[in-house]
């Protein structure tokens, strides 16, 4: 190691303050014994495996040095998958740069060989993911041929899977391709129907828990209360487990309780199926402490995380669904199969709002304050404040809130001819209007409180599938997109594919904007008019790009 450091130092250009050529402090060391496991098939062994995906490359590029580098890196980082993947990718890149073709059969072997398209076996090889030697595809998984599933009425099912062949019959795929069926019916609060292409028993209805604004809570059973502070709480969890129901918990942390303007939902943490998903302000999110690129579907397909506009959406096969706009609005939806089996600030979901304020031991709370405090959890920083930081919380009477109900303030929410008018039949605006009056008045008319209230109703409308009109302007509740070297473009959610159009005029250097429906920022890949990219996404009225900014027109390429 000393020789390697000395060699590297000989080519050093200049010293950088704080940099060191050697490891400082408690440096990890990896000897042969520590590296040996990482050369195995579970880690880096794929690089040198004689029957592995790189076997055709071995005669072109010696896998030995790459295998050793991979084992060293994996040892240093305790087997982290992202580190191993980068090391394997480095060998793949070297193989391709030396002319080795790394591709697989266009029609890989599957558990249903008779279902392959005609002429498929003669198609050229293709890039993708392929099973190792000795394994074949069972659906999207690689299994030994002995672990293939079953065919039942022309459809394929994986080994061990349960499925409804009809609404009165539940079947299971057993070893050897044997299907066993028995009479069955759906449980309470379930109905038999096709959902996402699958026939089965699905929830007949759902409960909704909403946290919005400063923040205001509405339980699964519809009881409303307000909560100020910067503490963490159990929002909802399964407290009466039942076979067939997935256990889950949802924790919520507030930010800035008792501030002069607004208290926001700082962080939401969901635990289900052995996974822990955290979502924070600024759309930061992690699964089991690691950040992944959205959209994400976990390997067992039980949990998915995606983004709809500026909203983060978590969906599980149990029916639990969360929509969080990373600031002012959180919607938790659970199926009626959980009736009477949950607890927390969201209540017990039994259809009776009168008994929602229960303590963890099941006894009724004597006050809202006692109920809220009983569901508090330890804060990450060890301290938090309840209420308004020891001071009286702001309160407003009817006369004080009256000025904020005008059409240019909270009245925007309830105006039937305004930008939210088309949403009123899906999400009742009355409660959001009242919350807006309270929050803006408590913040002495602060503009950010108004913007957060409008943003909360926007998220509620989007969650209900309603389209809304534009309500942001350059001077009112402007939504800033992150600046980049390219120009941003605001485009609706519905996009048209028109590859024959080109830009004839580039956008000027205007401030970034965001579209009101999709709530997304779009970019133009080039600022050079002579190299304008083909337009793949356009507005319905193609001559208008950004209002009051500039116009473009199509021309032949």
HEC profile of 359-428 = CCCCCECCCHHHHHHHCEECCCCCCCCECECCECCCCCCHHHHHHHHCCCCCHHHHCCCCCCHHHCCCCC
Taking only the tens place, the pLDDT of each residue in 315-374 is 998 999 999 987 788 999 999 889 999 999 999 999 899 999 999 999 999 999 899 999
> Does residue 381 surpass a pLDDT of 70?
no
Instruction: Retrieve residue 450's tokens.
Output: 């108004």
Higher pLDDT, 496 or 379: 379
* Strand spans (E) along 141-197: 141-143, 150-152, 155-157, 162-166, 169-173, 179-183, 190-195
Residue 21 has what pLDDT? 62
Residue 513 has what pLDDT? 39
Q: What is the mean pLDDT of residues 412-431?
A: 91
Provide the pairing of β-strand 275-280 with 544-546. unpaired
In this structure, are residues 454 and 413 in contact, taking their beta carbons and an 8 Å threshold?
Answer: yes
> Does residue 173 surpass a pLDDT of 70?
yes
Taking only the tens place, the pLDDT of each residue in 109-133 is 899 877 777 777 677 777 677 787 7
CA–CA separation, 323 and 331 (whole Å): 5
pTM for the whole structure:
0.57
Residue 494 has what pLDDT? 28
CA–CA separation, 286 and 267 (whole Å): 11
Tokens 């959980």 label which residue?
338
Q: What is the mean pLDDT of residues 444-466?
A: 87
Helix (H, G, I), strand (E, B) or coil at 85: helix
Q: Element (H or E) spanning 488, and its range?
A: strand 488-489
Torsion of CA 28, 274, 142, 138, to 10 degrees: -170
φ, ψ for residue 460 (rounded to 5)?
-65, -40
CA–CA separation, 246 and 242 (whole Å): 8
CA–CA separation, 423 and 218 (whole Å): 19
Torsion of CA 172, 178, 179, 180, to 10 degrees: -80
> Does residue 191 surpass a pLDDT of 70?
yes
CA–CA separation, 356 and 347 (whole Å): 4
Provide the pairing of β-strand 190-195 with 284-287. unpaired
> Does residue 12 surpass a pLDDT of 80?
no
Per this entry, what is the length of the chain? 557
Helix (H, G, I), strand (E, B) or coil at 142: strand
Helix (H, G, I), strand (E, B) or coil at 432: helix
Tokens 């199509």 label which residue?
554
> Does residue 108 surpass a pLDDT of 70?
yes
Residue 96 has what pLDDT? 82
Q: What is the mean pLDDT of residues 221-239?
A: 89
Q: What is the mean pLDDT of residues 159-178?
A: 92
> Does residue 409 surpass a pLDDT of 90?
yes
> Does residue 501 surpass a pLDDT of 50?
no
Q: What is the mean pLDDT of residues 475-485?
A: 64
> Does residue 290 surpass a pLDDT of 90?
no
Nearest CA among 382, 431, 394 for reference residue 223? 431
Tokens 């309470």 label which residue?
188
Q: Element (H or E) spanning 91, and its range?
A: helix 81-97
pLDDT tier at 382, thresholds 50, 70, 90: low
CA–CA separation, 88 and 44 (whole Å): 7
In this structure, are residues 405 and 430 in contact, taking their beta carbons and an 8 Å threshold?
Answer: no
Higher pLDDT, 286 or 511: 286
CA–CA separation, 507 and 488 (whole Å): 9
Q: What does pLDDT average to over the chain?
A: 78
Apex CA 208: angle with CA 206 and CA 214, to 5°?
175
Taking only the tens place, the pLDDT of each residue in 531-555 is 333 322 222 222 233 332 333 333 3
Residue 147 has what pLDDT? 93
Higher pLDDT, 426 or 235: 235
> Does residue 305 surpass a pLDDT of 80?
yes
Burial class (CB in 10 A: 0-12, 13-18, 19+), 466: middle
Higher pLDDT, 110 or 195: 110
In this structure, are residues 47 and 63 in contact, taking their beta carbons and an 8 Å threshold?
Answer: yes
> Does residue 271 surpass a pLDDT of 90?
yes
CA–CA separation, 463 and 520 (whole Å): 16
pLDDT tier at 378, thresholds 50, 70, 90: confident
Report the half-sphere exposure of 156 (CA within 13 A, side-chain side).
Answer: 13
CB atoms within 10 A of CB 85: 11
Nearest CA among 118, 127, 156 for reference residue 139? 156
């Amino acid at each position: 190691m000393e020789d390697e450091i000395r060699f590297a130092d000989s080519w050093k250009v200049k010293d950088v303050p704080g940099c060191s050529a050697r490891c400082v402090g408690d440096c990890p060391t990896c000897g042969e014994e520590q590296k040996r496991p990482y050369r195995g098939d579970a880690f880096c062994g794929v690089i040198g495996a004689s029957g592995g995906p790189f076997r055709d490359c071995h005669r072109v590029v010696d896998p030995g040095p790459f295998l050793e580098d991979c084992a060293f890196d994996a040892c240093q980082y305790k087997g982290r998958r992202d580190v191993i993947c980068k090391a394997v990718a480095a060998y793949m890149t070297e193989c391709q740069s030396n002319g080795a073709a790394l591709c697989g059969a266009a029609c890989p072997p599957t558990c249903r060989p008779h279902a392959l398209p005609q002429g498929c076996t003669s198609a050229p090889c293709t890039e993708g993911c392929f099973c190792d030697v000795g394994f074949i595809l069972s659906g999207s998984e690689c299994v030994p041929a002995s672990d293939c599933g079953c065919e039942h009425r022309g459809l394929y099912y994986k080994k061990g899977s349960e499925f409804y062949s009809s609404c009165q019959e539940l079947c299971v795929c057993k070893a050897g391709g044997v299907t066993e069926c028995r009479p069955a019916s759906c449980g309470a609060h379930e109905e038999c129907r096709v959902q996402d292409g699958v026939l089965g028993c699905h929830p007949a209805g759902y409960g909704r828990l909403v946290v919005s604004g400063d923040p205001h809570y509405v339980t699964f059973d519809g009881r409303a209360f307000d909560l100020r502070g910067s503490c963490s709480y159990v929002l909802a969890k399964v407290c009466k487990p039942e076979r067939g129901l997935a256990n889950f918990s949802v924790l919520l942390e507030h930010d800035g309780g008792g501030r002069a303007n607004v208290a926001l939902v700082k962080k939401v943490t969901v635990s289900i199926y052995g996974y822990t998903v955290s979502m924070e302000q600024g759309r930061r999110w992690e699964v089991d402490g690691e950040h992944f690129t959205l959209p994400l579907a976990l390997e067992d397909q039980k949990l998915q995380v995606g983004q709809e506009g500026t909203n983060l959406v978590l969906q599980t096969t149990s029916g639990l669904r969360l929509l969080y706009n990373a600031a002012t609005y959180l919607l938790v939806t659970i199926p009626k199969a959980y009736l009477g089996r949950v607890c927390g600030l969201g209540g017990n979901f039994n259809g009776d709002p009168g008994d929602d304020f229960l303590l963890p031991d099941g006894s009724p709370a004597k006050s809202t304050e006692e109920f809220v405090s009983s569901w508090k959890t330890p804060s990450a920083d060890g301290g938090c404040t309840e209420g308004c930081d020891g001071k009286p919380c702001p309160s407003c009477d009817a006369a004080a809130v009256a000025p904020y109900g005008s059409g240019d303030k909270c009245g925007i929410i309830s105006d039937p001819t305004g930008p939210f008018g088309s949403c009123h039949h899906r999400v009742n605006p009355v409660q959001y209007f009242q919350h807006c009056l309270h929050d803006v008045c408590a913040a002495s008319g602060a503009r950010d409180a108004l913007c957060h209230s409008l943003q909360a109703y926007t998220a509620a409308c989007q969650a209900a599938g309603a389209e809304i009109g534009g309500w942001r302007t350059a001077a009112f509740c402007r939504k800033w997109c992150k600046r980049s070297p390219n120009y941003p473009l605001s485009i609706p959610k519905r996009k048209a594919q028109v590859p024959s159009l080109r830009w004839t005029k580039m956008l000027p250097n205007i401030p970034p904007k965001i579209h009101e429906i999709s709530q997304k920022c779009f970019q133009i890949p080039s600022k050079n008019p002579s190299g304008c990219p083909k337009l793949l996404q356009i507005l319905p009225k193609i001559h208008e790009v950004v209002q009051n900014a500039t116009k473009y027109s199509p021309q032949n390429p």
